[in-house]
Amino acid sequence: MSDRLLVLVRHGQSEWNLKNLFTGWKDPGLTELGVKEAVAAGRKLKQQGLTFDVAFTSVLTRAQHTLDLALEEMGQTGIPITRNLALNERDYGDLSGLNKDDARTKWGEEQVLIWRRSYDVPPPGGESLKDTLARTLPYYVQEILPSVLRGQRTLVVAHGNSLRALIMVLEKLTPKQIIERELGTGAPVVYRLNADATVASVVDLAG
């Protein structure tokens, strides 16, 4: 019987995470801590005895670097990697590159909170989580899920909001529940799927 393994990992801390900036589609690299988190993710997966056949990531450096470091730690650098902007972080539009405190000063704390934590209200020029889901989910259904259902052990390294979109579908969460779902940097979430693509089990390797 095939394993139908799907592992999701959010990239390690980026330079802009550290500076409290809205990042979105901007492309800062990992911090020293982010590198350690990526290596730790690989170590946790190795300790679980997990191996992978294919990997998917976004076109952004912080996700790709996290994937490379994790695979190196597992000794699995030779597997095929597919990079696609469908897995990119939510586009924060006009907020991208702004300090979150400065954004609150400019637009007001309540408005910025709505942009950050509502499901379907996008910031100016950007995407809501609903928009991100509309971009990410078709790619998951057409490209990632078939790999899993074929029995290919699949690793996805991406971003907080693009992964939230997938988790929302996998765990059948409501818009309110997914907004409240925290996803730690470098923390693998291990799913095993049934033949009908529903979740048979889930293990969060945070901590």
Among all residues, which ones are annotated catalytic? 11, 89
Q: What is the Cα–Cα distance from 87 to 83, expressed in whole angstroms?
A: 8
Q: Which residue has the tokens 């509309």?
A: 134
Q: What is the Cα–Cα distance from 193 to 145, expressed in whole angstroms?
A: 10
Q: Which residue has the tokens 């907020």?
A: 95
Q: Which secondary structure element, helix H or strand E, spans residue 14, and what is its range?
A: none
How many Cβ atoms are within 10 Å of 196's Cβ, its own excluded? 7
Closest CA to 74 of 167, 206, 152, 188: 188
What does 80-144 look like in DSSP terms, one character per residue?
-EEE-GGGSPPP-GGGTT-BHHHHHHHH-HHHHHHHHH-SS-PPTTS--HHHHHHHHHHHIIIII
Closest CA to 159 of 68, 91, 89, 93: 89
